[in-house]
Every structure is written in C-alpha cells, then in structure tokens.
Structure 1
Amino acid sequence: MRALVVVLPIVSILIGLYFITLGLWELREGVNKQLYIKYMFTGLFLLVILTPMIWLFGSSLLFRI
C-alpha cells in the first residue's frame, strides 16, 4: 500500500508529460487543433490536479493505517 502511494504520482507525472508532449507535437504539425487541446488539458490535469491529490489523500491514508 505504501509503495502504491509513491508509485501512482510518479506514473501520473510521466503520463501527463507524455500527453503534453503529444499535444506539442500535434501543435507543431498543425493538423488537428482539437486534438492538441485534448492532449494538453489531459496532461495538465494529470500534472497539476491529480498528482497533488494523490499525494495529499495517499499520505492521509498512510497515517490512518
């Protein structure tokens, strides 16, 4: 359980960076702006919102156990 609290934010960061990279690549090609927006917001959500939530709620769960 403790290892999962450490691994999940790292995986979330890596997937978020991957989506941001895909979004920047889509912007570079300039083919589909809608796909660029989808990739960027997904990546930013994973980096800015989901990762801190996992850290906060995961650490509070560890103190309960």
Structure 2
Amino acid sequence: MFGLMGVTAVALIVKLLGRNRTENVDGLLIEQTSRVQAHNDRVTYSSAAVHKSSPTVRHHYRP
C-alpha cells in the first residue's frame, strides 16, 4: 500500500516538473508576454488604482 502511494507521488512530481519546461523560443516569448501582461494587470487593477486610496484606509460608514 505504501509502495503504491510512493509510486503515485513520484509520478505526480515527475509530471508537474515536466510541465514547466519550454522546448523552443516561441514558448519562452509567450511566457514572457504573459508575465508582462499579468504584471501590468496587477498594477492597473490594484486597489489603489481602482479606488484611489490605499486598502488600509478605514471608513466610518458600515452598510
């Protein structure tokens, strides 16, 4: 039983580590573009940008 669980864990680790490899330049460029887009989205849609105040400001109004 423990052997089966160990084999399953090793298979999952190998599968997950194998997914992160990019074999060609096109894949690297796509990943880089995605990272840049995600960074821009985080900056554009941050709490400070959307609400024009920091998220720690407390308001006295409670619904």
TM-score normalised over the length of structure 1: 0.39
Of structures 1 and 2, the one with the larger relative CO (CA 8 A, separation 6+) is 1
Kindly indicate which of the two structures has a greater share of residues assigned to helix. Answer: 1
TM-score normalised over the length of structure 2: 0.40
Task: Pick the structure with greater CA Rg.
Answer: 2
